Structure formats: structure tokens, C-alpha cells
Amino acid sequence: MSISSMVVDQYRGKEVTFIAQILQTAVNKDIISFAGGLPNPISFPQEALKESANRIIDTYGSSAFQYSNTEGLKALREFEADKLNKKLGLHLDAENVVITTGSQQSMDIIPKLFINPGDGIIVENPSYLGALQAFDYYRPTYYPVDLHEDGLDLEQLEEALQHDNVKFAYLIPEFQNPTGISYTNENRAEITKLLKKYNCLVIEDDPYGELRFEGEHGIYVGLGQYEKSALLGTFSKSVTPGMRLGYIVSEDKELLRYYAAVKENSDLHTNIFAQYLIWDYMTHNDHQKHIDEIVDLYRSQANAMLQAMEKYFPEGTTFTHPDGGMFIWATLPEGMKSLDLFPKAVEKLVAFVPGDPFYVHPENVRTMRLNFTNASPEMIDEGIHRLGDLIKEEMK
């Protein structure tokens, strides 16, 4: 019996994931790639992290190298609790926070904890493909709710919430991945009302919240508004993704005790050196100043991409105008398909992620995700120029 015939149905034939395929195609160094979701490496505070690495080894010695507890470093959990307390006037403590091996870990643990085959998950349509791909294993019934410029479609959401088998909603209200859309506060308040009405657990993912070009972070649909919720955060976008460090926060400590019990089976605990490192970095540096610098950088890159799109994209091509985050979501003229365009774009040495894997039921997908954080304004102009020319050619 071959290995492939032995694997469970959910993985049969999925030796290589869609993301891996896309990234492989775009690995050519000459390609201008808007496909990834990588922070700009300029944004990593390397020298400060090096100082922290030396300081924590000198100060904490073997504790930074030994096995540790599943919930995570207490000082780091308290740091995150305090930050949210100050921001939201809450009374969280360390037991309201579990450190995760990247936010991605929650995409596996949450459905593992709650989903029997057929149970319902409410997701945005489109939603983060890394979440959908991880959820898929658990064979849920998806209830996709359309995302508009102002946020979730409330009628569709209420309809979805009426299904008895719904276990949780997974939402990214701030600089959504893939669209870059932020729900309005009015939209969020209505969502919270509906979640309460139907007593539905909400997992609110906020990886990009700190990366805001203008205005203020929207209200959370869960944390501080409604106890049956959990907030996912990460240090990947504001410090370093390579450390794989995220966290889950909830007012419901029982939820986090269950979470930790499941996490123990996956990795025992998150890298403790990394936890000391990030905690030391956060408490010894002006982190807000660092974020301001990243935001300035990303704002200029986003503007470069938007200006280039205005200039080079033909009529009939639309795109979102995010106030932060890392992505712009473009829609091709009617009749075109993003998946068809992709290989032609790669031939012209420019790459994006076709919208398809972000939908539960992709069909004639005209959308694409474009990342603006990992190329210079000049390269962005050149890449969008190439893409615009290609779209024009295809329209002929």
C-alpha cells in the first residue's frame, strides 16, 4: 500500500498545498512578487533583538532553554493582558492569555476543540486561506457570509447564525485578509448584537491591527463586548514572524484551559527562548515608535500600489483602499478569471495570489490578493504596470 492510499480522505492527493504551489511558481528571483504575505524585513528590529538575546541568556540562563509550561511565559501573558486592560478598561490577567506557536496554531486547535464532522463554522466570504485550509481537515459545514466595503452582510450573518450546528464564527474585522477591508464600527456593533442573540462563540483574528495608516482601531466584536469570544494576536507583523509567536486572549478562562490542554498534545509548549526574547524586547524598547516606522513604510508602499493601479489598470478593474494591513484586493473585468491570468503574469515576471483559495465555493473567480509590503515603490510601480498591461491585452 502506498502512502497516498493510506492517508485520510481529507488529505488524499494534497501532498502539496495551493499556497506551496503558488510560492514555488513565484520563486524566480526576477519576479516582482505581490503573492506573499511577508512583512518587510526592514521592519525587523534586529539590533534590539540581538541585545535582548544576550540580555535574556545572561539574566535568565537555563530557564530560557529548559522545557516550560504550555500556557506560556507568565510575564509575557501579563504584558499582553495589561496592554489590553489599558486600551479597553478590562481586568484581564495572565490566565486570560495563552501564548501560541504563531496565530496559525489556533487555526488548528480551535476546530480540533469544537468541530465534529458536519458542525458549522461561519466565515467571511472570502476569508483567510490558511484558516480555511486548516479548518478543512475537521470537515465542517461552512456558512460563508459576504464581505462588503463596510463589513459583513448582516442579513446573511443572521441567517447563518440560525443554523443549530454552528459552533463558532471566525472573523477578521480589521484589515481583513485577503481583502484589506475593515468593518465599520456600526457594522461591528450589529455583529456583536447578533452573536449575543444567538449565543455564538466568535474567534476574532487581529494580526494586522497595529498596522494602521490613519484613524483608530475599530471596536472589537468580541473582547470587552461579549464574553463568549477569543481574540487572536501575533508578534509576526510588528516584531518578527520567524519566531512563530502569537497569543489567544479570552475573558472565558475555561476556554483557555481547554485550549492549553489541546495545545499540550501539539507541541508541549511554545519556544520559551522566543517568549523571553519578545517579552524582553517589548519591555526594553519603544515599541510604538517602531510600529510608527513600519506604518510609515507600509503607507508609502500602499499609496504607491494604489497610484499605480489608478494609472495602469484598465476600466472595469476595481480594487479596495485599505487604511492599513498588508493587502489590496483587486477584481478583474467581467469575463476574466484570475487563475487563467496567473501563469501569464508569471511569464511577465509578476505574481499575485488568485482569489480562488480564499472562497469556500470558488466559481469564476475574478479577484486577486496583492501584497504591498515587500517591494519598493519603484518595483511596485513596475509590477503593477506589467499587470495592468497584461489585463489590457487579455481584454482585447
Residue 365 CB partners (closer than 8 Å, separation 6+):
337, 338, 339, 354, 355, 356, 359
4 binds a copy of itself (CB under 8 A): yes
Q: Give the helix/strand (H/E) hosting 345.
A: helix 338-347
Kindly tell me which of 17 and 288 has the beta carbon lying closer to a copy of itself. 17
Nearer to a copy of itself, 294 or 332 (CB): 294
If one asks whether residue 104 binds a copy of itself (CB under 8 A), the answer comes out as yes
Mark the segment that binds a copy of itself (CB under 8 A) among 67-75, 81-89, 143-151, 308-316. Answer: 67-75
Nearest one of 114, 100, 84, 101 to 251, comparing CA atoms:
84
Quick check: 273 binds a copy of itself (CB under 8 A)? yes
d(CA 288, CA 45): 12
Integer Cα distance of 196 and 190 in angstroms:
10
The answer to whether 278 contacts a copy of itself (rule: CB under 8 A) is: no
Asked whether position 14 contacts a copy of itself by CB under 8 A, the answer is yes
294-353 binders of a copy of itself (CB under 8 A): none
Identify which of residues 41 and 335 has a Cβ nearer to a copy of itself in the complex.
41
Considering only residues 186, 264, 296, 393, which one is a binding residue for a copy of itself as defined by CB under 8 A?
Answer: 264
Cis peptide upstream of residue 117 (ω within 30 degrees of 0): no
Three-class secondary structure of residue 129 per DSSP: helix
Q: Report which of 199, 231, 187, 183 is spatially closest to residue 87, judged by C-alpha positions.
A: 231
Helices 104-114, 253-267: inter-axial angle, 10-degree rounding: 110
Which of residues 138 and 342 has its CB atom nearest to a copy of itself in the complex?
138
Residues in 35-54 at the binding interface with a copy of itself, rule: CB under 8 A:
36-39, 41-42, 44, 46, 49-50, 53-54
Question: Looking at 77-85, 113-121, 316-324, 387-395, which segment touches a copy of itself (CB under 8 A)?
Answer: 113-121
The reply to whether 29 sits near a copy of itself by the rule CB under 8 A is no
In the complex with a copy of itself, the residue whose CB is nearer, 49 or 370, is 49
To a copy of itself, the closest distance from the beta carbon of 311 in angstroms equals: 30
Question: 93 or 252: whose CB is closer to a copy of itself?
Answer: 252
Q: What 3-state class would DSSP assign to 354?
A: strand
Smallest distance, Å, CB 354 to a copy of itself? 18
The residue among 307, 229, 219, 259 whose CA lies nearest residue 99 is 259
User: CA-CA distance, 305 to 329, in Å (whole number)?
Assistant: 11
- The alpha carbon of residue 29 and the mean position of all alpha carbons in its chain are separated, in whole angstroms, by 25
Minimum distance from residue 271 beta carbon to a copy of itself (Å): 5
Do the Cβ atoms of 76 and 64 come closer than 8 Å?
no
Residue 360 contacts residue 144 (beta carbons within 8 Å): yes
Site string for a copy of itself, 207-246 (x = CB under 8 A): ---------------------x-------x---xxxxx--
> What's the closest the beta carbon of residue 162 comes to a copy of itself, in angstroms?
15
Estimate the crossing angle of helix 104-114 against helix 129-136, to 10 degrees. Answer: 40
C-alpha cell at 193: 448584537
164 contacts: CB under 8 Å, gap ≥ 6: none
Residue number, 192 or 373, with CB nearest to a copy of itself: 373
Enumerate residues 189-208 that contact a copy of itself by CB under 8 A: 199, 201
Rule CB under 8 A: is residue 369 a binding residue for a copy of itself?
no
Residue 360 lies near a copy of itself (rule: CB under 8 A):
no
- Give the binding-site size for a copy of itself (rule: CB under 8 A): 80
CB 270, min distance to a copy of itself, A: 7
Give kind and range of the element (H or E) at residue 368.
Answer: strand 367-371
